[in-house]
Chain A
C-alpha cells in the first residue's frame, strides 16, 4: 500500500541527508550513512526552526512510506506550539498530474495531548487540499464532555477554550475530518495577540499595475535627471523625494517576456531597485478596508448604534459575527412579490428557517390581512444581521447568519405552542439534531410562566450552550413578561437616544440589561429626529409592498441589539455559554454598569465595545465623534479625536485623501491622542445638496493592520429652509399668571419644523367631553409658542425659543368669540429676547416672568395636526 506516491519523497529525504552530512555534525542515529563530500565545493548552512514548531506524526509524507499506518496513539505537544497536520477521511487519488498518479491515504483523526490551563485557547485553521475542502472539527475532551468547533478553508478558524473551573493539566485534543478527501491544517496554541499576527498565506495585497512609489536617494532634480523616459515616467511628486512613477511603454515588453501586467510591474520594480539613485521602490498598493455598518448609507439615522459603541466594537470584531447563527423567532421575513429572495439587505445572510404558523419550511412574512404591516421580524433581523453592502443599513453582527423562525402570524400575534415548537426546533430537541443557532432572539412576549416553554429554553441553555435574548415588553409595568422574565433568558428593557428608560418600557427586578429601543415621543440625543430604531422592512407606496427601511420603537427593537452583540462575542471568544455571559454581565463587563443594579436598566445599558474588550486583549483606535455633520447649519469644521483603546502600541499608516469639499489635518496631541481636523470648503458645495464621503484611517496596532471609517456628511443649506428652533408648543394662555408667576395654558398644540417654518392649528371646542388639548373655548388669551428643551413642562425659559403674538415682548390679548376664527396669524420665535433701548421703549421689563406652563398631556393627546406627543 501507499507505494504509488512514495517515490516522490525519496529525493527529498536524500537531500536532507546530504545537507545533514555537509553540516559536519554527522553521527546522528537517523543518518548513519553520510555520503562523503568535498569541503571546497560544499554548500553549507544551517536551518533554524521557529520556536514551538511541531508536525503531525502521520502526515501524508509519513503515510506514503511503505507499510505506514496512521498513528493510533496520542502525540504529546508542548506548552506552546504551532503544529502542521494532515487528515483525510478516506484513501483516494488526486488524479493524474504531469503523468504521475498521486494518491492519498486515509487518516481521519489526529489525537494530541496538550497541556492547558483554564482560559487557554487552541485554534485550528484548515487549508483544505486540491482534492477538496472538507470540514474539520477541533475537539477538546475536558473530562465532563467534549468542547468542539468546526471549520474549513473558507471559514474562520475553529477555536476551543478550556473553561474556567477545570484543572491545569494535559487534555486530549482531536482533529477529525468530516470529508473523504485530504485537508492540511495548522493547530496553534498561542495568545490571542499571537493569533492575530499569524498569517499562513503569502502576502497578496493588491497593487496598481504599471505603477510604483519610488523614493530617490539624491536631491530630486538630480534623481529625476538620472531617469530616462525608458526607465520610468514621473507621474506625480508625493513628497520631497517620493514619486509615483509609471512603467514606460518600452518597459512593458522588456521587463519580462511574458506574464500578467502585475508580474511585469513587479519585474520593473525589481529593475528600479537596482538603480543607484533609487532608495526604495514599492508597488502602489491598493488600500482596502473592512466595511462596517458605519459605511452604510443610512448610518446617520442610526443613533442606536452609537449608543452601544458599535463603531469601536466593529473594529474589535471586524468579521461581524461570522460563523455565528442567530435564530429570529418572529413574524418571518419579507420577500418582495417579484422575487424568491428575502429582503435584499438581508438575503445574503439568511439561512434556511422554519414556519410554525403555516407549518412549512418557508418562513415568509405575508403581511397582515387586517391593518398594514411593518414586517416586524424583518426589522428585528436587520438590526441583528443586515448585510454590509453599501445599501441601507448593516446589522450589529453583520457577518452572522440569520435563521428565520416564524412563530407570529396575523397581526404579529401567535400561540405559545408554536413558540415552544419553534424553540425546540432551533435547539434541535424536537428532532434530536444539533442546534440550528447559537443565539436566539425573542422580540415577543406577553405570556405568563409556562413550564413547557421554560423546559424548551433550559434544554438550549444547558445542553447546547445557547443564549436566549428576550424583549421585556412595552406595558410600562413591573409585571414579569415571559419568556423574557425567565431566569434563562436575558430580559432587555428599552432606552431612548439619551439613555433614559423609554416611556413604554417594562421594568423590574427581572430586567437584566437595557438597550436602545427608541421612543418616538422623545429626541433624547438632540439630533432633531424622533428616537426610533431604523432597520429593514417594507412599505406600500401604492403598488404593493416593496423592500425598504422604517423606524420603529419597542423593546422588540432593543433585544436584537443585545443578540447581535452576543453573536460578536460568540465569534470572538469561540465558546461563550449563558453562564459566561451572565458572569460578564453581572461583573459590569457588557454594559455601562454603574455598580448598582437598577430595575430600569438591570446591569446597565449595552456597551458593545466594552463587551468585546472584556473577552480579548486587543488594541484599537476609537474615533470621537464617530461621524461628522459639516454644514452651514451645523459647523464648518470639526475635530475627530482618535484615542487608543487597549494596552498595545498604535501607528497610523495612512489617512485616505479627502474630496475637494473638505480638508483633513492631522495633529498629535501631547497625551497621545491623535486629532483629525475636518474643515469644510463651502465654496465647493452646491447649496441644498447633500454630500457624503468616508475617510479611512489605516493603522497598525500590535502588529495587526486595522482600519476605521469616519463618515462625513455635509450640506450647505440656504438659510430660509434650514432654520429651526426645535419642536414647539403653541399655547393659548390665560392673561394673568398664577401664584408661581406662570401663565397657564388653556389650549395647546405641538408642531415640528417644516422647511424652516412651523404650522399650527387650534380647533373650536365642540363641547364634547373630554375637551381635547387642541380645542379652544371662547375667551381672552395670549397666543404664545416656544420650546421646552429641558422637558420641565414650561416653555419660554431662558435658553428656550419663544414667540409671542404679535411681537415678542409686546404680547397683546386676543379674543376668541364663538363661531369666529382667526386665520393666518404670524409670529416669530427666537432664542433671544428683545431688549429695552431708546428705539423700543414700549417694551416692559418682566421681573416675575417664569414662562408658560404646558398642559398635562397624559390623558388625551391630540390627533389634530400634531406630529408630536403632547
Chain B
C-alpha cells in the first residue's frame, strides 16, 4: 500500500523531469507542476478550465462524486500561480486516468501534454462511474493561449487574452 502511494508521488516528479527537459524557458517550465490527479473529480464535462482566482476555484471543489485532497489546491497563491483543470468527463467504469506528461512553450502559448490511460479491452473493470481529471499549477503569467494535447483527437485550446 505504502509503496504504491509513494509510486504516485514519483510519477508526478517524473512529469516535472520531463517538463524540465523541454527546450523553452526553463525557469517557467520548472514551475509547472501537477498538484493532483484523480479518477473521481465530479466534473462531468470533458475539457479544460483555467482558474485564475480563488472565487473561480471554489465551484470546482466539493462537488458530488469528488474524492481527492483539496488542501494543496486551496493553498495555491493565485498571485503567483493559476490552475488548469483537465477533465476527461464522465467515464463508465474504473480504469481511466489523466496525468501531466510534458510541458512546452511556444511564444505565449502554454502547451500541456497529457497522458491518458484507458482499461485494456480484455480487462475486467469495476462498474462505477468515474470522472478523471488532473489539476496543474502554472505560473501566473500573461499567457495568451493554453493548449491541452493528448486528451482529445484535436488539441483543446483556450484563449486566455
Contact = CB atoms under 8 A, between A and B. Distances in A.
Contacts of A337: 1-2
Given A372-B38, A537-B67, A863 B127 contact: no
Interface string B111-138: 0000001011011111111001000000
Interface stretch (B16-24, B39-47, B102-110): B39-47
A860 B45 contact: yes
Interface string B1-42: 111110110010000000000000000000000001111101
A532 B123 CA distance: 26
Contacts of A866: 45, 59
A863 B87 contact: yes
Contact of B36 (A372, A539, A552, A554): A372
Interface string A405-419: 001101111111001
Nearest to B8: A369
B68 interface: yes
Contact of A550 (B60, B67, B87, B124): B67
Given A412-B94, A446-B93, A768-B159, A372 B125 contact: no
A408 B1 contact: no
Given A521-B44, A553-B65, A369 B124 contact: no
A284 B127 CA distance: 53
Nearest to B119: A413
B140 interface: no
A867 interface: yes
A595 interface: no
A446 B125 contact: yes
A788 interface: no
B60 A556 contact: no
Given A370-B11, A553-B65, A768-B157, A444 B124 contact: yes
Nearest to A494: B127
Interface in A826-867: 860-867
A860 B94 CA distance: 21
Interface stretch (A51-59, A468-476, A568-576): A468-476
Contacts of B64: 520, 530, 532, 551, 867
Interface SS of A by simple majority = loop
A540 B92 contact: no
Contacts of B37: 370-372
Q: Which of B49, B63, B127 has the most A CB atoms < 10 Å from its CB? A: B127
A446 B4 contact: no
Contacts of B56: 761, 865
Given A542-B71, A863-B87, A364 B123 contact: no
- Interface bin, chain B: 35 or more
Given A370-B97, A768-B158, A557 B67 contact: no
B56 to A, nearest CB: 7
A528 B83 CA distance: 31
B1 A367 contact: yes
Q: Which of A367, A412, A766 has the most B CB atoms < 10 Å from its CB? A: A412
A411 B128 contact: no
B152 to A, nearest CB: 10
Contacts of B39: 368, 371-374, 411-412
Interface string A721-736: 0000000000000000
A520 B126 contact: no
Contacts of B43: 863
A367 B38 CA distance: 11
A544 B68 CA distance: 10
A370 B129 contact: no
B99 interface: yes
Contact of A407 (B2, B4, B40, B124): B124
B143 to A, nearest CB: 13
B89 interface: yes
Contacts of A537: 67
Contacts of B46: 860-861, 863
B65 A552 contact: yes
A542 B47 CA distance: 26
B124 A415 contact: yes
A447 interface: yes
A445 interface: yes
A479 to B, nearest CB: 12
B92 A542 contact: no
Contacts of A411: 39, 94-97, 117, 119
Contact of B123 (A415, A539, A766): A415
Q: Which of B8, B11, B93, B119 has the most A CB atoms < 10 Å from its CB? A: B93
A759 to B, nearest CB: 7
Interface in A752-769: 759, 761, 766-768
Nearest to A365: B1
Q: Which of B42, B48, B129 has the most A CB atoms < 10 Å from its CB? A: B129
A555 interface: yes
A610 interface: no
B95 A766 contact: no
Interface string A550-590: 11111111010000000000000000000000000000000
A180 interface: no
Contacts of A374: 39-40, 67, 128
A559 to B, nearest CB: 8
A413 B123 contact: yes
Contact of B124 (A413, A530, A532): A413
A550 to B, nearest CB: 6
A660 B122 CA distance: 61
Contacts of A130: none
Contacts of B96: 371, 411
B69 interface: yes
Contacts of B68: 372, 540
A366 interface: yes
Contacts of B87: 863
Interface in A367-416: 367-374, 376-377, 379, 407-408, 410-416
Interface string B48-85: 11000000100110011101111110000000000001
Contact of A416 (B67, B95, B124): B124
A324 to B, nearest CB: 23
Interface in A485-540: 504, 520-521, 530, 532, 537, 539-540
Contacts of B132: 371
Contact of A412 (B38, B71, B95): B95
A710 to B, nearest CB: 28
A522 B118 CA distance: 27
A105 interface: no
A530 B62 CA distance: 13
A696 interface: no
Nearest to A448: B122
Contacts of B119: 411, 413, 446
Contacts of B2: 337
Contact of A368 (B4, B69, B72, B124): B4
Nearest to A819: B161
A863 B49 contact: yes
Contacts of A412: 39, 93-95, 125-126, 128
Nearest to B117: A370
A443 interface: yes
A368 B95 CA distance: 10
A369 B40 contact: no
A867 B7 CA distance: 31
12 contacts: A368-B39, A369-B8, A374-B39, A411-B96, A412-B93, A412-B125, A419-B124, A444-B127, A474-B93, A553-B128, A766-B157, A861-B45
8 closest cross-chain pairs (CB), A and B = A412-B94, A542-B71, A372-B38, A366-B1, A861-B45, A412-B126, A554-B128, A474-B92
Interface of A: 330-331, 335, 337, 364, 366-374, 376-377, 379, 407-408, 410-416, 419, 443-447, 471-476, 504, 520-521, 530, 532, 537, 539-542, 544, 550-557, 559, 759, 761, 766-768, 772, 860-867, 869-870
Given A366-B5, A371-B96, 11 more contacts: A366-B1, A368-B4, A370-B117, A372-B67, A412-B94, A446-B124, A767-B159, A860-B45, A863-B46, A863-B60, A867-B59
